[in-house]
Structure formats: structure tokens, C-alpha cells
Chain A
Amino acid sequence: MPTKTEKDAVTGTMTTGHEWDGIKELNTPLPKWWIYVFYATIVWAAAYYVFYPSLPWVRGIAGWSQRGELAEKLAAERERVRPMLERIRAMPIADLQRSAELRDFAFAGGRAAFADNCAPCHGAGGAGAKGGFPALVDDEWIWGGDLAAIQRTITYGVRSGHAETRTSQMPRFGADALLTPAQISDVAEHVLSLSGRSTNAAAAGRGKATYADQCVACHGDTGRGNPEQGGPSLVDQVWLYGSDKASIERSVYLGRGGVMPAWTERLDEATIKMLTLYVHSLGGGR
């Protein structure tokens, strides 16, 4: 509680009358304009409430919003890059890769588009995932790894339902009773032998005939695969669904075939070109 003001004996200054536990506050007065500035800030705050969105569900009469500002900035940015995108759209992709002027821009655009659209399945770094999400950083390509092939795969997708989609269908050899379990075991042993990993030469030999009947059309007689038809190579070290015998048997029994959307339905041509360039650069491009 304020007590009486008095003159402090030591300093000769008056006190404010405020006292806490025997400690008294000296009165060193501020200039009046100082407190007027303080009042002005209160008025400013009140005006701020009126003009800007400060309370829930109240928009403020200035009509400003953070989201609106973001939309404006994005629109301005889109306007800024439009000529670049237009040039990218008009340029053949092989030229784009060699264009010192546009390559860095396209690469950055591709990286952003990849993070937005591709990373959920193929991984942020393009490493893919077990169980049907192919790695884009290695040099094994189911549907071809040159620029044109990648561009086509992204544009129309795989088993996407688009008229131009890439598609192949591996039969469900076991589930549809096309092969017996014994045949499946033998053909899996033969597939292992293609990459030099067979431990049962007799079984592998028995499987060879089945392979020649059922598999060569897509995977080729030496197992090198055929990117034209989406037949993956069976001789290399890259296995989308696992490389051990049980995994191979399972693939033969159930058949395999993942789905990738046709991105032409969601992305414009320039973005797809930038994505192509980026994916090509990840490490496996041919």
C-alpha cells in the first residue's frame, strides 16, 4: 500500500510512496511524453484488433490474411517462373539436359516435385522400398532408364488405367493353378541359378523347361528381362520382392505387378520433364 511520500535522506530525492519490506522506491520521474507513447501503443493495439484478424472468426476490416498473402506470393512466383516453364515445355528433354541455362532450374523444380509427389512410394532419396516400390537410384529399370522411357513411365504410369499406360501382367501361377507347387519350387531354383546362387542343380535343371515355357516371353531366355514389356531382369543383384528362394516362390505363386498413377492427369508437361531429369540424375539414368 502506498505510504506517505517523503524526502530520502541519502539522495535528497522524493520517494514514490511505494514500499516493499522496508525498501522504498525513489521518484525519478519520466517525461510525460513517455507515458503518452505508452497510451499510444494501447490505442494502436485496439486499432490493430479492428483492422487485422486478431480474434477467432473476426476477419478485420483491412481484409488481410496470412493465407491470402501466401496465395498472392505464390501467384506472383508462378507468374515469375512461367516463362521458364514454357521454355522447358517446348524443349526436347535431351536438349534440356544439356542446356546450361535451364538445367539447374529444371533440376530444382524436379526435386521439389519429387518430394511432393513421388517420395511417398519411392522414398525421399529415391531408394524405394521392399514390396513393390522400385528404387530409382540404382541402374536396374523395369521399364527402361533412358530419358524418353522415364518420361513415358511418369506420364502414363504403370497399370494406371490410362489408355497409354505401361502394363504387363505376371500370371498368378500358383493361385490360379497354372503350375504345381513342385514346379514352382523347381522354377524358383532355376531363377536362382541364373544369378549363380542355385544350391540344387537337379531342381534347377527340372525348372529350366518350365521357365522356357512360361517365363521367357517377358524375362528372356537368359533371364535378362525386357524393358519393352516390363519384364524385370532376373540375373542381377537388384530384387524388388526379395531375392531368397521363398520370396521368389511367392512371387511366382501370386504373380507381381505394382501400380503407378498416370501423372499426366495431375502434373503439367513441364513438371513431368523436370521430374524426368531429376529421376534420371538420381544415379541410374542411362
Chain B
Amino acid sequence: MTGQAPDAVATETAVSRKIQRETEPLYINRIKVYSKAVSGPWRRVKWAVLAVCLTVYYVVPWLRWDRGPSAPDQAVLIDLPGRRAYFLWIEIWPQEVYYLTGLLILAALGLFLATSLLGRVWCGYACPQTVWTDLYMLVERLIEGDRNARMRLDKQPWSPGKAARKAAKHATWLLIALATGGAWILYFVDAPTAIGPILRGEGGAAVYVFIGLFTTTTYLLAGWAREQVCTYMCPWPRFQAAMLDENSIVVTYQKWRGEPRGKHKQGAGWEGRGDCVDCMQCVAVCPTGIDIRDGQQLECIGCGLCIDACDGVMAKVGRPPRLITWDTLANQEAKAKGGSGRFRLLRPRTIIYVTLIAIVALVMLGSLAMRATVEVTVQRDRNPLFVTLADGSIRNSYTVKISNKTWETQEFRLSVEGLPGARLSLADLPEGAAELTARPDAVATRRVFVTVPPGSPLRESTPIAFLAERRAGGETARHESVFLAPRK
């Protein structure tokens, strides 16, 4: 490859990719993408997002949040054995998993909105696959050099130097993968106390299995699979077409300005030709190895690195920047006809997405604000429906459950209304008082008897209500139920 101009190399891979597509059978060897380093505003944005995402990922498990003496003080923690999830001041029990559902719905709608406005910005900037692939490419570039150096290295026969570089690259990749898998575990355990045993090899088999799993997947997906994850595995590119329309702002090659393309000699005029000098820099920097000038395509992740590459070339040849730019397909059509086009951010599609996001967010916030930290439920026992006692009294039994989501012991006084003369007693406590105690962060289950003395006028079914009065003061919870008696 020595002696060839970089641009010629770029042309060769791009052309070979096209040729292979036309002649190869149903399965092809992967055409390796050697993406070239690039600098510019969008590359800087991508670095910034990468830094923020990685910082969030690695720092969050170490944030502390004081919940009192007996509660975990990790700000974000999913406690699987204890069946609790903690997020700052919110503590979620398994039966409240719908909050997670709500979050996922919000995330999906947010993705729809972002896509209908800005195309695949998620794919290009914030998706973990993109972030880690970018990080891996940085490592690769630091160790093996930029695009041309890497292509040369791969074509060289094996030598100690090549082996050393490859070994260094894979070792660094594996280290990053290990740190990724390791950090994932910290979301499920108390990070400061768990990190020591994990590093000393005393973390337990399950921990290492999961670290191994995430290490392997990170290494394979970010190191080897890369853009193939987006092209072959991820469902998102397949249905993004349903969110995108001609008014979405996407990475676009301005065909009307660029064509007819062709090499440009220094000093030659620009009349009768387009601005595209066919330098192939947009293809060379593309992390998925496509040619943006072919138009919108499945493989494009919308990262905008080709914009930076093209702007650099346009500056060199003295043409205005943004031959490749962020624009809408509708604008491009208008501009091709000599018009100017305009951005339409408010469209039925985006309005619907914003409305849906607002509704879901409000419902979630509302339910979170009104969420009871101490819940009392009363369930009628159905086997048997009622019991006739020796003296002819009729008794029904109920199961009272108190879910105490606070970290203090909660005491309740239970009473029943709607049945004159009814007596309330606790099943398995000899004292027989209607006092209920729920330990902190636990569910207290007690059977309660309601007994009506003989001779009381009783219908087959009498509506009654239980009142659970909190000893510490505050609200009294009311629960409707029925009292059943034998048919007269």
C-alpha cells in the first residue's frame, strides 16, 4: 500500500465494497471499516457526549443518599435479594414495577420525539454501542495509528512489532470491557463495601459470571462487531422509518450543490460542476463505512462526522462549508428547485409525541406524589365464608396486610364500622387486641376476626368498612368489605 495516496485507498475500499455487493452470494465476509480520525464541531459534541455518558455510568454507583440508619445509603441501587429498588428519595417495591414500565415508555417516546426531530441522534451520540465503539476506536487509533497505518498493519505479514501492537490493543480493550462489566455489578450491590471483595476475588460466583458476561459482550460488540450491531442486530434502524419524515433534520449530502462531482485541480474554475471534489473523506471517517452521498440509508447512524470531514475539505478548496449538513429532505427538495425551504418543528407527529410524553410524565409524577408509604389492605377470607360459633355468634375472618415502606415501625389501631355490636379480634395473638404493628420496610400480615353476637339482625351480606388509624397521627385509611352470614 506504500506510495499510494490516502484518497486512492479510500476509493478502493469504497468501490470494492460496492463490487462485492453485486457479485457475492448470500453471505459475504465483513468488509472491515477503517474509520479515519476527524476533527470539527460535531466530533467535539460526540466526545463531550461520550465523556458525559461514561462519567454518569461510572460515577452513579458511588453517589450516596442518606435514608436513615438501617437503610442502604446508595443513591441508585437495585437490591435484588431484598427486592427493592432505590432511586434517590424514591424506593420501589416489586409490586410497583409499573414505575419502571412508565420510565421505559417515557424513554421510548423520548426516542420517538428525538428521531422525528433530529433523525438518529440517539444512535450517533448516546447509544452505549456508539459510545463504547467510539472509545474502542480511540484506543485502536492510539495504538495502531490512523486509518492508513491500520490498513497497512493489517496487510503486513505477522511480525513481533505487529503482534505487540495487536496484543496491546486487545489487552486495553479487555481492560475497558472488564471495567464496564465491573461497574455494572455496582448498581446491584453497595459499591464501597463490595468493591474490595470483588477486587480480591471474594465476590462470589454469580458476581463474576455477570462481570464475565458483560466483559465478553462489551469486548465483542465494541471491539469486533461494531457497526454490524446497528446494521444486523438492532431493531431500531428497522423501524425508525416510522418516526422519520421529510421534515426530520438528518445528516444530508446536498446533492444539488455537490453534483456533478469530480476531481478539482487547484486554480481551475468551479463553473459547470458541483462542489463535491470526490475526495472520499466522508466515506473514510464514517464509523459504519457508508457513503452519505448515496442518500438516506439503513446503516447511517446520524453522527455527523462526515460533516466535519467535508467542511475541512471545503475550507481547503475554498468553497463554502456544509456541503454535507443537517437538513430536512423537504428543504433539500426545495433548495434543489432554487427555493430556500424552512424547518417545521411543530408537526402533528411531534405534537403528538410531546403530548404523550407530557401525559405519561404527569401521570407518573402524580402517582409518585400520591404514593402511600404505608398501605393497608383488607382481604376477606373465603374458606370458610363464615363460621357459626357454639353460642350461635357468626364470625367472618379477614386478612389485613400492612405494607410499611418507611424505615420506622408503624402502629395502627383497627376498628370496624357498619355492624352494630360487632367485635374485632386478632387471630394469632392471645391478647386479642386490635393493635397492628408493622416493622420497618416490611409487610405485616394478620388475620382479623369480626364476630357478631347471636340474635343480631343479619342479612346474608352486610357492607362494612375497616378503619386503620395510624397511632402516630395522620391519615385514617378506610377499606370497604362485606360481612357474610348464613341464609335465613
Distance from A73 Cβ to chain B, minimum over Cβ atoms (Å):
16
Q: Is the CB of A238 within 8 A of B383?
A: no
Distance from A91 Cβ to chain B, minimum over Cβ atoms (Å):
16
Q: Is the CB of A29 within 8 A of B388?
A: no
Q: Report the bound CA distance from A14 to B228 in whole Å.
A: 21
Q: A residues 118-143 with Cβ under 8 Å of B?
A: 123-127, 135, 137-140
Contact for A29 among B26, B228, B449, CB less than 8 A: B26
Q: Report the bound CA distance from A107 to B342 in whole Å.
A: 73
Indicate whether A80 reaches chain B with its CB closer than 8 angstroms.
Answer: no
Q: Is the CB of A30 within 8 A of B232?
A: yes
Closest to B449 in A: A283
Contact for A137 among B22, B382, B387, B428, CB less than 8 A: B387
Closest to B26 in A: A29
Q: Is the CB of B387 within 8 A of A7?
A: no
Q: Is the CB of B28 within 8 A of A31?
A: yes
Q: Report the bound CA distance from A125 to B30 in whole Å.
A: 66
Chain A interface SS verdict (over half): loop
Among A29, A35, A98, A126, find the residue whose CB has the most chain B CB atoms closer than 10 A: A29
B25 neighbours in A (Cβ, 8 Å)? 27, 29
Indicate whether B24 reaches chain A with its CB closer than 8 angstroms.
Answer: yes
Closest to A16 in B: B26
Indicate whether B197 reaches chain A with its CB closer than 8 angstroms.
Answer: no
Q: Is the CB of B427 within 8 A of A236?
A: no
Q: Assuming A7-B22, A29-B21, is B387 touching A34 (CB within 8 A)?
A: no
Q: Is the CB of A138 within 8 A of B387?
A: yes
B228 neighbours in A (Cβ, 8 Å)? 31
A27 neighbours in B (Cβ, 8 Å)? 25-26
Q: B residues 402-453 with Cβ under 8 Å of A?
A: 427-428, 430, 447, 449
Q: Is the CB of B384 within 8 A of A32?
A: no
Q: Is the CB of A138 within 8 A of B29?
A: no
Indicate whether B148 reaches chain A with its CB closer than 8 angstroms.
Answer: no
Q: Is the CB of B390 within 8 A of A31?
A: no
Q: B residues 360-381 with Cβ under 8 Å of A?
A: 381
30 A-B pairs (CB sep. < 8 Å): A7-B22, A13-B21, A14-B21, A14-B22, A27-B26, A29-B24, A29-B25, A29-B26, A31-B28, A32-B28, A32-B29, A32-B30, A35-B27, A97-B430, A107-B428, A125-B381, A127-B383, A127-B384, A127-B387, A137-B397, A139-B389, A140-B390, A236-B392, A237-B392, A237-B454, A238-B388, A238-B389, A238-B390, A283-B395, A283-B397
Q: Which residues of A contact B (CB under 8 A)?
A: 7, 13-14, 16, 27, 29-35, 97-98, 103, 107, 123-127, 135, 137-140, 233, 236-238, 277, 281-283
Q: Lowest 4 A-B CB distances belong to which pairs?
A: A125-B383, A236-B390, A127-B384, A281-B428
User: Beyond A236-B390, A236-B391: 17 further Cβ-contacts under 8 Å?
Assistant: A13-B22, A14-B22, A29-B21, A29-B27, A30-B26, A30-B27, A32-B28, A97-B428, A97-B430, A123-B384, A138-B389, A139-B389, A139-B390, A237-B390, A237-B391, A238-B388, A282-B427
